[in-house]
Amino acid sequence: MNLVWFRNDLRVDDNPALYHAIKAGKPFHALFISTPLQWQQHDMAPIKIDLIERHINLLSQQLGLHGIHFKHIEASDFAEQAQALIAYCQQQRIENIFANQEVELNEQQRDQVLLDHGLSLTLFESDVIVSKGAVLNGQNEMYKVFTPFKKAWASSLARTHAAPLQVSLPSLKPVSNPVITFNITKQDSTKWPLANTVLQQVLPNFLTTKYQDYHQDRDYPAIKGTSGLSPYLAIGAISAKRVFAELSHHYPNALEVISQPQGSWLNELAWRDFYRHLLHHFPKLNKHHNFNDKYDHLPWPNAPELLAAWQQAKTGYPIVDAAMRQLVQTGWMHNRLRMIVASFLTKHCLVDWRLGETFFMQHLIDGDLSANNGGWQWAAGTGCDAQPYFRIFNPITQSEKYDPDGSFIRKYLPELENVPLKHLHFPHTYLKQHSMDTYWPAIVDHPTARQQALSFYKAG
């Protein structure tokens, strides 16, 4: 008997471990080992845990219809997970284990423990479009700047095509796999459809009706102009290769225009690969180290009252507060807003980017270590291919530009419903003149905070 061990790859389609287990020609079981304590230690959001649970049950049903037994075991953390797997393999007389690699450090250390124990664990790559290690510069090293990486990535992709695997499940007598429930706090994720619906309806609809305007609409949070795929990519419910294949089917010249405005969406898939490649090549990023060592000694003030105001959406900057409410209420935040609020926390409040990174992970349905770390270090100016420290987003002008009619702000800040549009993006003078106390004061003054940030980074 063989075993397919599902981890961060909750899908049948383009699943290399499942594909090779079927190809091996022997009967196999499927297994998922949840680790609630480890999830908490890694700040996994309750809404993401709920999304995982829903997709585990979808996967269990899909496999059961083809006669494949799906087993769920609960372990507290990775150490107990390894012990549980060893015990299961002994009980079931498992000969070979098929699984897909995980790039994160703790997961790799766990897999090494299993290999050292003598388990026959065969690992495959399933999380990127172009293989990690396949995109290197002239010195045979990982690129540290995105644009040349993207060009080499696109060139590699044009040569290899990176086609997704077509997985044909066996036709066996159906079995009834039990419903799986995780014993941990969860937040309802049902506003997000299951991945099979996304592949059949949401993605095709995006590619046919929204893709052409993506480069124009992507920065406006009031417009539903993005694909909404990130939660499914984060848990492996949808394959990045499948997404690229669907894009190529609709737009055969997608790679050729990647550096043009109409290539903006593929550009985002390249960014995702870039951050995962970085995590592979620079394991220190797993430990929340600055990519750029010269910032290791920055004396972040980390004023607790500023961090708390940011977390509680009470900064006094409407675009920041509306974005933070979107995050806490829905488990998701628009990408333009992620840049604005990250810049605000690190450069206006001088709070260590790691504290923002953690808060994001605790709430995001699409929380992903590589992308979250990369995005926060980009905003803080400490990372690979980062925004320079002297570029500081002005939250007022960003608000005026990307929420010009104020509809996003008004959706999440009803406190400002009676403020005219021309005052909405920074309403304090208007509120004071009209003796209105419906909104809280600004926690920092933008020009002052900007100068403090410039001095802070220079001194550091």
Locus of tokens 């150490």? 79
Angle, in degrees to the nearest 10, between helices 318-330 and 395-402? 70
Residue 271 is a catalytic residue: yes
Residue in 392, 394, 389 with CA at minimum distance from that of residue 458: 389
Of 246, 335, 400, 415, the active-site residue reads 335
The 3-state secondary structure of 43-76 reads: CCCHHHHHHHHHHHHHHHHHHHCCCCCEEEEECC
Of 153, 332, 376, 378, the active-site residue reads 376
Residues 10 and 161: beta-carbon distance below 8 Å: no
User: What's the burial of 172, exposed, middle or buried (CB within 10 Å: 0-12/13-18/19+)?
Assistant: exposed
Residues 320 and 395: beta-carbon distance below 8 Å: yes
Query: Would strands 121-124 and 2-6 be described as parallel, antiparallel, or unpaired?
Result: unpaired
Residues 81 and 258: beta-carbon distance below 8 Å: no
For 159-165, the CB contacts below 8 A with 24+ separation are: 160/130, 162/129, 162/130, 162/241, 162/244, 163/241, 163/245, 164/13, 164/14, 164/239, 164/241, 164/242, 164/245, 165/14, 165/15, 165/16, 165/19
Q: Give the tokens for residue 190.
A: 């049902």
Query: Would strands 96-100 and 121-124 be described as parallel, antiparallel, or unpaired?
Result: parallel
State the Cα–Cα distance between residues 240 and 387, nearest whole angstrom. Answer: 26
Of 39, 153, 265, 271, the active-site residue reads 271
Residue 378 is a catalytic residue: no
DSSP string of 128-146, one letter each residue: -SS-TTS-B-TTSSB-SSH
Residue 310 is a catalytic residue: no
Of 74, 246, 292, 300, the active-site residue reads 300
Residue 268 is a catalytic residue: yes
DSSP secondary structure letter of residue 298: -
Active site residues per annotation: 268, 271, 300, 335, 353, 376
